[in-house]
Structures are given as structure tokens and as C-alpha cells.
Structure 1
């Protein structure tokens, strides 16, 4: 592409709003990927790994229990085996007994197996005790992570993290699986240059989308390359199986399919059971067995949805009974002893979206420690806020970590009330007692002759869209022709434009209340609805109000 003027005017408008200023910003080919050579720590890490493979040492891969961690662990295992490592094994921490990161108990498990080298993926930069335990046991350790580090760093042999202080690598938004990909790419170049790392980009795409990192140019290249593998069915059988259980077609797969269909089924294993099941699905090479594993994950995800809905209902009851109009705190901090620790992050996200304020949801683990999951709004860097709280009240939190929009924490049960009050106080101070209003930015209106299947198809493949490179959202006024509630949760509509063009529309997770107005102002994503061999435009609604 030599000029942005050669693309359709609608796309010119959308790309300009997302900061695209040059045709090279749209050239999503692998030659545009940043090289791994600028990542600090990578030379030392490659030397350690190469020595371990040559000497056939036992290499333990420890990953997080989410999709980013599972894809990163899977990728490292596949590459190490391809490069000749005979003794390597994945260890995923138990969410409920060990918590996040490289816990000393997890190190003991790797030591019992005989590990001589540990690679952490999507974790480790705050795992001081675990890293120290590994060094004490004589185990070399490479930390690969993308989370923001604290003031001090663990005593690892090598740390690879684009967000370390002074790090020159410019792709700061790289997910954990992306960091792992860069390390394995450098190792491949050192040991076996002919090995095709691009064949694993389906895993990188899935982990990147699932972790909600901003889709800058480097990440869009990762995701686009992975989607091309998936659409051509040259990806992991487990990913194809997960798409099938979700009712999604691989040949038309988008980043949204990865984020809303594949990732939740993998994450459900880490939330309710063990991510070992998710990793097994990603590693499986037999199509039939992959489908069996994907079905197990699908069933667990259905259980997760039911638990989430119950917790959501209980949270609303607490809010309704605790706060009158306009008395809700700046930061929601909610606890129920019956809530499931594996689902608190989802509930925190729901509350954040519904009330447009930071939300922390707490649950007790088996040893009585309270685990918390925090979600924030753009105006509040939640990890930095926790740093501020910890500096002022050093005995309040047991530990914490995260990034701008999400964080995890733990505290003792007797500190819940105190922390709830301090959290709200610090938020008020940070925001100068002015809670930002929720904003919904759109790309303007579509003309009636743009509301077509052709436009929807153009938009579907013009991304990949995602965090930091948002799916196009449009607004307009429409007449409501028909409405009904689907599955006691979703609002299904037929809307009519000014020129009498009728369009199907759906609002997911709307509830059970029907509209009591005829003319609506809607914010929507223009999508394709495939049914009976035909494709028609459909609005995926994000917001409705009377016009």
C-alpha cells in the first residue's frame, strides 16, 4: 500500500481516529515485527537455555493460570521440545492454594521433579520468595513477564520484561505469551534457525487478545498472523475444537472470537478447576481428543456462568441495601464469604462497567486469607494506587501486583473494613473528589447505504480490533419495529432507519425488561449475521436510550 487514499473512505475515517497516519501502520506482515535483540536479559537467558538443552537438564516451565499463561507455557514447551529438550514440563500453580506467581510451594514441586532450570511465563517479576527458594535449591531461573515491576527485582539469573526500568524494547504492551515468543525466537536462532516460529503464532494471537493488552502495531501483527493460521486451519487442534464448541467458524475467525469465545472457555479451567486441562487442550494433536477436552472446558465454562450470575445478583442486593441514591463510594470493595475466588475478577469487571468506578471483589481462600481482584477505569492506575496505599499503610496488604486497569491483592480478613475505607479515601484524593463521568466514544453515524452486509464484512476483516484499537462503534436514531427477550437475558430487536431500511439488532446481557419507547438512540457495532446460508447486517448494541 502506497497511500491511505487508496482504501475506502469509511476505513480512512476509522483508521485516522485510531492514530493511523502512515500506510506502514497497516502493513501487518511479520517483517514489521520488532526483533528480540533489543530485549534486555535475552542473551543470558538464551545461554542458560542452550546449555540446559545441550546437557539435557530438566527444564520446568511455570505459568499463570489464565489464557496468556497457558498459551505462553504451551509455546515454550513446544519450542523446547522441537529444539531437542527431552526433559521439560509445565507447572501451573493452583489458584486456590498457591495464588498467583512463582510461589515457594510451586518451586518445591519443580524441585521434587528434579528441575535444574525454571522459566516463568506471564509471571515472576514480583515472585521474590519463589525466586529466592529456587536459588537456594540450586535451580537456575529465568523470569519472563510483562507486568509492571516494583522498586526491587527478584534475584533471578535473567529477567526478560519490556516494562523493566531502562528497558529499550519499545513494544511495552507485549503480553506474556509475546515475551515468551521473543525468548524462544532468540533461542531458535541460536540452536536451530530453520525451525518455523511463525507456526506458533496462533498461540501468541490467542494469549495477546485474551490478556486485553493494547493492540499496538506489534501486537496487531502478532494477532493478524495468528488469525491467518486459524482461518486456514493450520493452527492447534485445540483452538479449532474450542471454536467449534462455541459455535464459531474458523474460516471467519476474528480477534473477538478469540476474546469472547475461546479465551473464556480456557480461563474457566483456571477459575474453577485447574488450567492443566486448558494446557492439555492446547497441546493435544489428536482432533477427536481435542474436541473431548474442549467439551470439558465448555461444560466448566457453563458452570462458571451460573456462579457468576449468582454472585452478580448477590452483589446487586448488597449495593441496593447498603447505599441510597448518590451515596455509593468512589471505589467499590465488596466481600461475601460464599463467593468463588475464581470468579471475582469477572464480577469486578461487571461492576466497573456498570457503575463506572474502580471495583475490587474479595473472596476467602482455604487458609482464610482474603484474595482480591481489582478492575479500574482509565482515570485510575489501579496498581499505582495500591502502591500508594501500601506505602502509607505497610501492614495492610499481604501482597499485590498488576497493571493500570487490573490488579490482584491479598489481605487478612480482619483488615477488610479498614481496607475498604482506605481504598475509597485514596481514590477520592487521587480524583480530587470528582468521579469521572462515563464516556462512550463512537465513530459517528453510518448512512443507510452503508448499513449493508458488504460494509459489515469490510469492517470485520479491517482490524484486528481490540484493546487500544477499538472495534468501530456507530450511533444513530431508529424506530423500534419488534422486540423480544431471548434466553431471559438478551434483547432482540428489529430497528428501522429513516429510509425504512430494517435491521436486526441484539443487546447481550440486557436483562428481562422490554423497551417502553418507540424511537431509540443506539450505539452499535455493525456485524454479520449468518443464517440459512445468507449473510445480513446486524447491530450488536452497546447502549440504548430514548431518542
Structure 2
């Protein structure tokens, strides 16, 4: 069925026998069994999915070149050589840098933190940075969350006598850059079992390996809060050991042992048990803010400092930068939407978007790309034009691999890389039309093979009556947390009569649904008045509708209740419900 917002609702219906088997075998409710099956968790894996342990962590020496990396680090420690940590400027890179910086600090080793300037140096290792570090007397550089395709920069490092250890998790070429060793679960010669790990987890495993060699009393588990934040924010799948790392990391985060994270939680008003949501939508954007529009090392410095006053100062600065980032982002987004509207009006069958603008801040184009992708359900690249090198950021839909497109476009790009769902690039202005043509052709071919990839969808885990959307359901669903990539928060359809509908805060709508037995449940629809959904609900007073969304715990004036965070709606009842 097509909804008010033009989406297709897919109600997943697992095998009833499988639902009963998991429910009885694990002693969980049928709704939990249904949710697990809807996430393609097999019957055999269900127990581990819910009850995973840190004992399931891979041995660090499972990964190629871990021995080479740890041996070189031990040598540097024993010979008192100068070590630098070279990180990416996003949340994953900031957390990975902080993990190694904090670990080395805990064993009495001072390291230099180097985060490249996004605007002048771009992404990843570069000649300028390596020569600067070498001139300052560094003997060893450990990259985190970057470096696996930095062939030219690694040649420079070798020429100037600078040893490099690469830790990364991005997709690799068949060949490996010249370095002491490269630890990356996505190396072509790896077994692929742990390709879903983020860069911070790879850095953590390196620290665990070094710690094992020197046999310290460092409690490595206290670094898991950083691993959790990075895992959620880098949008890697919350499956396997990632679920355990985030779950345990959130427990560490709750202790507020990391001074920087505590300062950030305080300034943002997090006064409840931290969840994946807080990592992805509260802490993460602020850690990212500096890398987008200011000094790129602020996030890493905040996460690794042991000084409370410095932490409070950096947290306040990042909080303010995030507000500034939002203002810049709004301007770029409005201009990008105007461009997109013109392109779609000119070609209603367009399958992909490449939008480029003067004075677009390169630090916010990734966020804008995400918004445009959500708005049009099309893969998109947003490019910040520049007289020298233009920077682009892309976001995709399921079925279109942006990282592969960038890798296959080397002949027209200056550089780039990424994952299936997100990628970055640098390009000459004159080459943008050629890239746009190639990008659109690839997407058109993918859509021709599978037209459904361009149809926006909402996957539902079940249908509830008004009384079924309650606190008991919320408590049961907590077993499936943490939510994130690969484990989305469950969504349900709820049918009822609209007893109340009112605009709140200009663009949001609050509703109340009721049934024949007078049971009621409240709902909130964020930004409803910016779509057809708000007017539809306001005009449906006393009529029956079916809404879909997530069932949330709401606390107001000390009273706790269930509330639907409404995402969409249809007229009347769910078909076949």
C-alpha cells in the first residue's frame, strides 16, 4: 500500500513455527522472536544475538600484520622513539585517535596527535603532514581510520625514513601501500569475518595486542565507551561483536569515566541511561562539528584529555560549533534543494543527483547529502565548488554502491573512497559533468535490474491495536537494543480513531488515537507540517487512520507513558490486518 508520504509499507511476516521456537527456546516474548527474525537473525544465532559476550571478541592476532604492528610499536617504546597518531576527522577517527592516545598515556608514553585540516589537507595521510612529523623528530606514525589507499603518501614516508603502521577498516585495493604493516579487516587477503568493524575497534584491537605484549594492568574495557560511540556514529552494522561492544560501551559511558564524554553529556543535558541514540544524535554531531567547520583535532583532544577544565572548555566550544554548523548546513541545504527541484522537474525519471554550488562549506556537504537522499530517495553527491579542487560527499540507497563507483572513476577524479552507502571525492570542476554522467549511468543500470531500489519503503515489524502500544511492549523491546545500522528500532502500525490533533511548536503535530474500548495512546509527529502528513492528520479528526512508527517511553511531570513517534500514515485500517 502507498502511504500519505508516498512510501510503500512492508509488513514482515516471519514463519509462525520459527517465532514459537525462538520464543520457547530462549524464554522471550513472541514479539522479540518476530523482531529477531525480521532482522535475518537465524534460529541458531538468536541466543548469541541477545546474550553476546566480550569473550566473542576476535583475537587481535587473527588479523594480518598485527604481529608486525605490535613488534614495531614495542621497539618504539623500548627505544623511546617519538610516536604520532594520525587520525581521520570524523567521529570514528576522533574516537580511534583518542583510544590510542589514552592507551599510550596510561602506560606512560606521550604521543603526538595529528588530525589533518579538512580544508587544506583533505582526507587521510598526505605529504605535507608526513614531512612535518618527520621534521619534528617522529620515528613512527600510526594511522587510524585512514590510510589503506594512500599509496603516494606512503611512498613519501618511506623516502624520508618515516615508519608507518596503518590501521583502517575501509575497502582496500589488492595491493597494500608501502608500510610496516596494515591492520584492516577489509584487506583483500583477510577472511572477511570482521569486515563490519569500525576504525575505532581496529585501533582498540591494536591497543589490546600491545597491552598483551607488555603485560600492564591497564583496564582496556574502560575504552569501550569510545568504541561504542564510534561504532554507532560510523553506521557500521550492529551485528556480531559490534552489538556486544556497543552494549558494554554504553555501560562504560554511563559511569562517565571519560572526562571529555562526561563534559559533553553534561552540556547537552544527558541525564538518563545513555543509549545508542545519544551517541548518534547528541554526542556524535558535536564531536564531528569541529572537523566540519573548525579545528579538526578538537574532538580527539576532548576525548583524550585528562584535564577537567580543558574538557569543559572543549565541550562548550564543540557545542557552540555544532549550532554554527546547523546554520551553515541550513543555507547549503536550501540551495541544494532548489537545484534538485529543477533537475527533477526537468527530468522526472532522474535516477541520481549530482548537485554543486559555490560557497558551499565542504564540512557540511555530507549531512546535506543525507538529507537530500532521504527527501528524494535517490543516491546523491553534493559537491562544494572551488577554483582548485572541488570536494564532494555522497550518500546512497540500498542497491547502489557508492564506494565502488568512486573506485571505478579514478580516471576522472583526483581522489576519493568510501563505503557502499557513503563516499567522498575530490575532483576538478571541469570533470564534474563527466562524473555526473557516469554516476547516473551506473545507477540507471542498477535500477533497470531492480526497479524497487528507487521506491521508498518502511518495513514494519507488526500491527498493534491501540492498547498494544504500551510500556510493557517497550520493556520487552529493550532486549533487542542497541539499535543502529542493521538493527533498526522496531516499527509498528497502529490503527485507531483520531481523537485529538494539534500543531505544536509550529511544525510538529501531536495526536491521540483511541479505540472502541476507549483505550488511548498519544503520538508525536516531528516536522509533520513540512510534509503532507501533518495536514492529513489535522483533517482526520474523528476518523479512523493507521499510523506507523516507533513506540517510545515518554515522561512528563513524573508520569510515564507510551508514545508513538509517528513516521507515516494511511487512511482507515491496515489492509489484511
Secondary structure at the counterpart of residue 364 of structure 2: helix
- CA shift, 1:325, in A, is 7.4
Measured against aligned partners, the alpha-carbon deviations of 1:302-359 in whole angstroms (never above 9, x if no partner) come to 1111222222222222223333276252110001112111010011111111111110
Are 2:181 and 1:158 equivalent residues in the alignment?
Answer: yes
Partner of 1:534: 559
Partner of 2:156: 133
- CA shift, 1:188, in A, is 0.3
Q: 2:169 aligns with which of 137, 143, 146?
A: 146
Q: 2:424 aligns with which of 408, 423, 445?
A: 408
Looking at structure 1, the residues matched to 504 and 88 of structure 2 have their Cα atoms a distance apart, in angstroms, of 36
Q: 1:83·1:192 contact (CA, 8 Å) conserved in 2?
A: no
Question: More relative contact order in 1 or in 2 (CA 8 Å, sep 6+)?
Answer: 2
Partner of 1:253: 274
Looking at structure 2, the residues matched to 290 and 146 of structure 1 have their Cα atoms a distance apart, in angstroms, of 29
Looking at structure 2, the residues matched to 330 and 258 of structure 1 have their Cα atoms a distance apart, in angstroms, of 33
1:152/1:85 CA distance change after superposition, 3 Å: same
Looking at structure 2, the residues matched to 113 and 484 of structure 1 have their Cα atoms a distance apart, in angstroms, of 63
Q: 1:83·1:191 contact (CA, 8 Å) conserved in 2?
A: no
1:107/1:491 CA distance change after superposition, 3 Å: farther
Are 2:116 and 1:100 equivalent residues in the alignment?
Answer: no
- CA shift, 1:532, in A, is 2.1
Partner of 2:298: 277
Measured against aligned partners, the alpha-carbon deviations of 1:130-162 in whole angstroms (never above 9, x if no partner) come to 211211111110000000012432111100000
1:481/1:304 CA distance change after superposition, 3 Å: farther
- Unpaired runs of 5+ residues, structure 2, are 1-21, 573-577
Measured against aligned partners, the alpha-carbon deviations of 1:453-472 in whole angstroms (never above 9, x if no partner) come to 23223324531111011111
Partner of 2:369: 348
Looking at structure 2, the residues matched to 137 and 282 of structure 1 have their Cα atoms a distance apart, in angstroms, of 31
Partner of 1:380: 400
Q: 1:305 aligns with which of 309, 314, 326?
A: 326
1:487/1:99 CA distance change after superposition, 3 Å: farther
Are 2:527 and 1:504 equivalent residues in the alignment?
Answer: no
Measured against aligned partners, the alpha-carbon deviations of 1:180-211 in whole angstroms (never above 9, x if no partner) come to 01111000000124321111100000011010
Looking at structure 2, the residues matched to 138 and 350 of structure 1 have their Cα atoms a distance apart, in angstroms, of 44
Are 2:473 and 1:450 equivalent residues in the alignment?
Answer: no
Are 2:80 and 1:64 equivalent residues in the alignment?
Answer: no
1:505/1:141 CA distance change after superposition, 3 Å: same
Point out the more displaced range, 466-475 or 4-13.
4-13
Q: 1:523 aligns with which of 527, 538, 548?
A: 548
Looking at structure 2, the residues matched to 460 and 325 of structure 1 have their Cα atoms a distance apart, in angstroms, of 47
Looking at structure 1, the residues matched to 280 and 53 of structure 2 have their Cα atoms a distance apart, in angstroms, of 22
Are 2:455 and 1:431 equivalent residues in the alignment?
Answer: no
Query: 1:101-116 to 2 correspondence within 5 Å?
Result: 101-116=124-139
Measured against aligned partners, the alpha-carbon deviations of 1:503-544 in whole angstroms (never above 9, x if no partner) come to 232233444464233143322111111222232112222223
Q: 2:384·2:391 contact (CA, 8 Å) conserved in 1?
A: yes
Partner of 1:418: 434
TM-score calculated relative to the size of structure 2: 0.89
TM-score calculated relative to the size of structure 1: 0.93
Partner of 2:482: 464
Are 2:316 and 1:295 equivalent residues in the alignment?
Answer: yes
Secondary structure at the counterpart of residue 459 of structure 1: helix
Looking at structure 1, the residues matched to 497 and 264 of structure 2 have their Cα atoms a distance apart, in angstroms, of 38
Point out the more displaced range, 370-379 or 479-488.
479-488
Partner of 1:187: 210
1:239/1:501 CA distance change after superposition, 3 Å: farther
- CA-based RMSD of the aligned residues comes to 2.2
Looking at structure 1, the residues matched to 279 and 507 of structure 2 have their Cα atoms a distance apart, in angstroms, of 23
Partner of 2:141: 118
